Structure 1
Amino acid sequence: MLYINGEWRDTGNKLDVTNPATGEIIRTVATGGKTETKEAIESAKRAFEFWGKTTGNERSNYLFQVVQLMKEKTKELAETITLENGKPLPDATREVAGAIGYLEWYAEEAKRIYGETIPASAADKHLMVIREPVGVCAAITPWNFPLSMITRKIAPALAAGCTIVLKPADLTPLSAIKVFECFHEVGLPAGVANLVIGPAEEIGNEMTSNPDVRKITFTGSTRVGKKLIRDSSDTVKKISMELGGHAPYIVFEDADIDAAVNGILVSKFINSGQTCISTNRIYVAETVADEFSGKLAEKVSKLVIGNGLEDGVNVGPVINKVALEKVKSQVEDAVKHDGKVIAGGNVFTLNNGSGYFFEPTVIQNASDNMKITTEETFGPVAPIYTFKTEEEVVERANHPEYGLAAYCYTRDIGRGLRMMRALEFGIVGINDPAPVVVQAPFGGMKESGIGKEGGWYGLEEYLEKKFVSIFIK
């Protein structure tokens, strides 16, 4: 269903939503296109006339009501994520908690949008800077975190006083529908938040070309992000883009090897490797490479593959057949270039023959001429490279295009600080495989993105700074 101007809309056009673990259609939803998107934008524009003037306390109260309702619906929300995305239920439950965390944080921040007084250079002037909401925003979210990516964009937008039109991924629209059911249930005013589901190009073109949309926020591939940036340039929209990643994971000879191995289980195999900050390249010092590789292969071999709704499952399916074929192709290419598979390496089939599963895989003897070294891997494959010196690994780790996240394991605090400065990435985890938190900025450098999400940094993306000079004589 679409949600426009506070009403659910059935257009007659349909989209089947499939469970990637079983191949079964779990629900059919209504879709729209250019016409419905334009209506949603018009609705958001009308709503902005009053929503942008509400107090921070009023906006905060609405968000807190949604927080409470989503907490009550945690089980339902988590099951929805697992059904349409495939990730194990415990991971989905953690995603729900993260999604609620963004709403809660920005419910608090809505009351803390401050201005500034600037010392004047003349006695007869008073100078101020005030922060005002950008206006109507359009958000496009991905399938890999179908709930938390939505609230990470909508929560700061609404807290700032903006109105929004959301287009979720066609593969996972059910989580978005659940969020908007919560908005509807708490009585969020009509038009403040609108939901359109349907063809990406048709909806995206209306969002980028419509002059009433003042900001575009997108999470997804660098290729699509570049197109949205180009298409938004004619109306000079404000943009924030969280794009592709190719994260290096560096293990020095003085690292806690067991901690580094356990970190890979978090950074690489959560959500079957389908995260933008997932480790793509593991660089291990030559002197500890065999120890690290052996321990990692042993642990990875024990991960349980299966339907995310079943108890004890660690690794679910990849999202669809195209994703499965890409993972398979990268592994085959690595083997062709002398890579040695020491765990996994094959397409995995459940007893009933359904789903898109690939075994959690570790590849030793990875090299720079493999596809996996330069192509983003959205799958459960961990290639291990070796290095000799700190200078060498920094040069290899700093990707010419990607700059989203990087990880480093060392017991040497001086080295950790050097790596913090040398790694050209928006997020750096030192002995930390899960550095993302609600209150901190999330975003990349280079072709991995523009702008930040999370914390007060994310709120600033939805605010304009207006300078006011008052002549007082």
Structure 2
Amino acid sequence: MKDLNIVTDTQLALPDTPYRACHFIDGQRVDSAEGRTSERVSPSHGVVVSRAALGGEAEAEAAIRVARAAFDDGRWSRLSGRVRAIVLNRVADLIEANAERLALMETLESGKPITQARAECSGAADLWRYAASLARTVHGDSHNTLGGDVLAMVLKEPIGVVSIITPWNFPFWILSQKLPFALAAGCTCVVKPSEMTPSTTAMLAELLTEAGLPAGVCNIVLGCGNPVGSLMSTHEAVDMVSFTGSTAVGKTITKVAGETLKKVALELGGKNAQVIFGDADLESAADAVTFGVYFNVGQCCNSSSRIIVHEDIAEEFVARVVALSRKVAFGNPLHPDTQVGAIVTPEHQAKIDGYVRAAVAAGAELCLGGEALDVPGVGAQFYRPTVLRNVTPDMAIAREEVFGPVLCVLTFQTLDEAIALSNDAHYGLSAGVWSDNVHTCLEFSRRAQAGTVWTNTWMDGFSEVTFGGMKQSGQGREIGSYGFEEFLEVKSVVMRLGRTRQPWVKTS
């Protein structure tokens, strides 16, 4: 472990008792009808940190029916945008006031570093505030050039009941990319967080009540994809499903939701490339690559898990990344200096290791890492920051989402080759390009098959700038005005003024 910056101590104490997470249905915190619960053992400390109600079809059915009734009676959908915005802004204030409590629970359940959890939870407040602004500014169109006796309007109305299904890697942030925008549009919602990280979503229920959100407008059901998520994706009373998670599950949701022709918005996997040209600022690029692959322990759909480097600078650039990787603070997530925390489950850790071992067996060169690690005083659910070079495009590690702190390196000679390698994936979530030549950056950005392209930076995000993928990275968009409009239906209203319509049936 001499080549790693290990952090073993902590500045935060573990809670005395596990957090008790409940369902939230019709404004009430409730346990499961059968009394079933699930426990979450912290991946970074090996102790039970939360005990959550484990729901089934009964709880999901109840939540959906309540959300349907709440939408149909207009208690939220027919309120003015101003009133909805007031409530959403109150939620944002309460999120900021409770950010430390939310962040600690997020770290305990997911294993991510506390500093990253703090940024995620406190930063989510801005998403709620931006959504609140959209609630007041949404509008349709009018057409007054159709003739002197005709006026037409195009209205934007809430789509109805939305099922929101969120993952374990960014539980609070991804929830905040969806829920406030759905609420701003006037929808009612049923939310299911991952069974591995249910608590911050359950905590949000308290804040929604305190902010004055009417009962039944947002309902939360804790449980597994089957049966809870399955019913949320197929129920006839649900109008839309918004899901973030694996591509495999996203494909299943698309199929089953098609039986009732629900709208489906999906944010799925990624195999995101950063392309580094010879004229790039190599110091900044190496730092961004290191951040991009190790942020959130690499368990991030936007992870820059492959880099495509010009042959002339490949050796120098890889050496820079390896040197920086050795300096990354790695270990106890409860220490503020830690940058790389724990892997979410032992099974996922084994999957990551399997990808690395298969790549080495296929001829890739291991420059750093490549093994699980037992951090003294913390536990064994950690994976060393790993860099592999001499990776070829046909290797699984270059094509599939590893979802761990593993970087693979490919090389190129020409711009066309770099673009072809970047696009040679089933996914199309994000991509990056590093060059001091604006023409290179612009051409790459226009030709890259990705929903987001960063130039001379990585993973800068803003509430105003929409996010989503191409190809098997998903469909639909989140955040920004485009993400907001996912939750709206468009309706045309055509009005004829006076008695000017000519009769179709002649009476004489």
TM superposition score category, shorter chain reference: over 0.9
**Would you say the 8 A contact 2:332–2:378 is kept in 1?**
no
Corresponding residue for residue 257 of structure 2: 232
1:33 partner letter:
G
Answering whether residue 48 of structure 2 is matched by residue 25 of structure 1, we say: yes
**1:353 CA displacement:** 6.5
Answering whether residue 12 of structure 2 is matched by residue 3 of structure 1, we say: no
1:10 partner letter:
D
Corresponding residue for residue 246 of structure 1: 271
1:78 partner letter:
A
1:321 corresponds, among 340, 346, 351, to 346
String of CA shifts for 1:414-433, please: whole Å, max 9, x gaps: 01010011101000001111
Corresponding residue for residue 67 of structure 2: 44
Q: Which runs of 5+ in 2 are unaligned?
A: 1-21, 499-508
String of CA shifts for 1:292-325, please: whole Å, max 9, x gaps: 0111101101112212102321100111112101
Corresponding residue for residue 130 of structure 2: 105
2:55 partner letter:
G
Corresponding residue for residue 57 of structure 1: 82
**Would you say the 8 A contact 2:115–2:336 is kept in 1?**
no
Percent identity between the aligned chains?
Answer: 35
TM-score by length of 1: 0.98
Q: Which runs of 5+ in 1 are unaligned?
A: none
Alignment of 1:62-461 (within 5 A): 62-352=87-377, 354-461=379-486
CA root-mean-square deviation: 1.1
**Would you say the 8 A contact 1:428–1:435 is kept in 2?**
no
String of CA shifts for 1:423-450, please: whole Å, max 9, x gaps: 0100000111123221111000111111
1:22 partner letter:
H
Corresponding residue for residue 501 of structure 2: none
**Would you say the 8 A contact 1:137–1:217 is kept in 2?**
yes
**Would you say the 8 A contact 2:182–2:188 is kept in 1?**
yes
Compare CA radii of gyration and give the structure with the larger one. 2
TM-aligned CA distance change 1:170 to 1:129, over 3 Å: same
**Would you say the 8 A contact 2:167–2:194 is kept in 1?**
yes
- The number of aligned residues is 473
1:35 partner letter:
A
Q: In structure 2, the residue corresponding to 1:356 is in which secondary structure?
A: strand
**1:209 CA displacement:** 2.0
2:28 partner letter:
E
Distance in structure 1 (CA, Å) of the matches to 2:284 and 2:234: 49
**Would you say the 8 A contact 1:22–1:355 is kept in 2?**
no
TM-aligned CA distance change 1:438 to 1:194, over 3 Å: same
**1:205 CA displacement:** 2.2
**Would you say the 8 A contact 2:302–2:459 is kept in 1?**
no
Distance in structure 2 (CA, Å) of the matches to 1:119 and 1:422: 40
TM-score by length of 2: 0.91
**1:197 CA displacement:** 0.7
**Would you say the 8 A contact 2:342–2:382 is kept in 1?**
yes
**1:370 CA displacement:** 2.0
Distance in structure 2 (CA, Å) of the matches to 1:204 and 1:26: 24
Distance in structure 1 (CA, Å) of the matches to 2:217 and 2:199: 20
**Would you say the 8 A contact 1:301–1:344 is kept in 2?**
no
String of CA shifts for 1:36-79, please: whole Å, max 9, x gaps: 11110111111112211001111111111111111111111111
Corresponding residue for residue 502 of structure 2: none
**1:167 CA displacement:** 0.3
**1:338 CA displacement:** 1.9
Q: In structure 1, the residue corresponding to 2:162 is in which secondary structure?
A: strand
- Shifted more, 22-31 versus 34-43: the winner is 22-31
